[in-house]
Amino acid sequence: MTETYTATLDRIVDEGTAVLLLERDGETVEQRTLDVTRLPADGRHEGAVFTVTLEGGVECGDIETVEYRPGETESRRESIQERLDRLSSRLSDRDE
């Protein structure tokens, strides 16, 4: 059985292990680790978004493929920045 998930790179630990959060329908369903060398070079940064294919399913499957999604990564980054800007503005207004 092959399953495909959206994954977000949560962090890189020990400069060699990537921690991926696997998502389905906007919900995080699993956390997986992967050797950072298996990530595309342009996707080796926190917050990067990937399509991950697991052979054997989420419970016991191995990561087969990892494809970087630069457009979605940038879209998420912009959305987060907009939310931070709105929060900062509200906090400034409150403090005045």
Q: pLDDT per residue over 20-71, tens digit each?
A: 999 988 888 999 999 999 999 899 998 999 999 998 766 667 889 999 998 8
51 domain residue, yes or no: yes
- pLDDT of 67: 93
Q: Which amino acid, residue 47?
A: G
* Residue 50's CATH number: 2.40.50
- Is residue 84 one of the residues assigned to a domain? no
What's the rounded Cα separation, in Å, for the pair 76 and 91? 23
Flag whether 78 is in a domain.
no
